[in-house]
Amino acid sequence: MQSWQPDPLALFDECLQSAGEDPAAASSHWADTVGVFDLETTGVDVTIDRVVTAHVGLLGPDGITLRAQSWLADPGIEIPEGASAIHGISTTYASEHGRPAAEVVAEVVTALRVLLDAGIPVVAYNAPFDFSLLKYEALRHGVEPIAAPSPVVDPLVLDKAHDRYRKGKRTLEVVAAHYAVEFTGAHDAAADATAAGRIAQALATRFALAADVRELHTQQISWARDQAESLTEYFIRIGRLEPTERLDGAWPIR
């Protein structure tokens, strides 16, 4: 079982200070320095489910980990067996070893703010899930949420936009293999976040993505909306949605 350190913030402050006043400008391309973020949770409903584990890190060129911090929270509710089977954390373990959820959520929000405020893009695979769930957790615990995270990079949106007609699943594991990104320990927040960051770096090279990460952020808003509309039409055709229903294409937060 991974060890969990209680103080995340000095790690990121130290890293940003060592990079200078504008660490994002020190890189020739946004993909040279990326933040990474992932949550493992009690379920998939962003409005009611809770954080169990979290990871925020910073990757340099070639996916080298520069800084990293993981958290284990006591979510304060039962962790369903289905969720425990995925990420390996039981209710008993979280209650005995996890820190209060309010403290964890506040620290994760602060660590992300440090990166975003410095102009460093934060990579999150299927970003609306992680950022939306964190928003509702923040509101639940009286923490000011990150209402409009930017800049964000979502490898799932980018992969769908640039390799639209590739058949097969687009889970993190499958996409990592497709782009030859080494990935072990799926559904561990640190492993998932790091793999997502390295996929984003691989995509930047493969598809010559916009060097201006703010421009790329805006492009992803449009691409995510179009992808949701396309998936909505498909689900209506196969009977998974009613003709009046629509998938939410808001990105990077809902």
In angstroms, the CA 19 to CA 129 distance is 30
In angstroms, the CA 25 to CA 30 distance is 8
For residue 71 the two structure tokens come to 């958290």
Number of separate domains in the chain:
1
Which pLDDT score is estimated for 28?
Answer: 76
In which residue ranges of the chain is pLDDT below 50? 1-6, 8, 18-21, 23-26
Question: Which pLDDT tens digit goes with each residue over 199-237?
Answer: 999 999 999 999 999 999 999 999 999 999 999 999 999
98: helix, strand or coil: coil
Which pLDDT score is estimated for 20?
Answer: 44
Question: What are the residues whose beta carbons fall under 8 Å from the beta carbon of 84, sequence distance 6 or more?
Answer: 90, 91
For residue 125, being part of any structural domain is answered with: yes
For residue 123 the two structure tokens come to 């990579």
In angstroms, the CA 238 to CA 252 distance is 27
Which pLDDT score is estimated for 13?
Answer: 60
Question: Which pLDDT tens digit goes with each residue over 230-250?
Answer: 999 999 999 999 999 999 999
In angstroms, the CA 174 to CA 85 distance is 20
Single pTM value for the model: 0.91
Which pLDDT score is estimated for 12?
Answer: 57
For residue 3, being part of any structural domain is answered with: no
In angstroms, the CA 31 to CA 204 distance is 7
Question: What are the residues whose beta carbons fall under 8 Å from the beta carbon of 55, sequence distance 6 or more?
Answer: 36, 37, 38, 68, 69, 70, 71, 189, 190, 192, 193, 194
Residue-number span of the structural domain to which 120 is assigned: 9-238
205: helix, strand or coil: helix
Do residues 105 and 143 lie in contact, with contact meaning Cβ atoms separated by under 8 Å? yes
Dihedrals phi, psi of 58, to nearest 5 degrees:
-135, 125
DSSP label at residue 147: S
For residue 246, being part of any structural domain is answered with: no
The sign one gets for the Cα dihedral 57, 25, 121, 32 is negative
For residue 2, being part of any structural domain is answered with: no
How many CB atoms sit inside 10 A of residue 244's CB? 6
For residue 252, being part of any structural domain is answered with: no
Do residues 67 and 197 lie in contact, with contact meaning Cβ atoms separated by under 8 Å? no
Which pLDDT score is estimated for 24?
Answer: 46
CATH of the domain at 64: 3.30.420.10
For residue 1, being part of any structural domain is answered with: no
For residue 166, being part of any structural domain is answered with: yes
For residue 254, being part of any structural domain is answered with: no
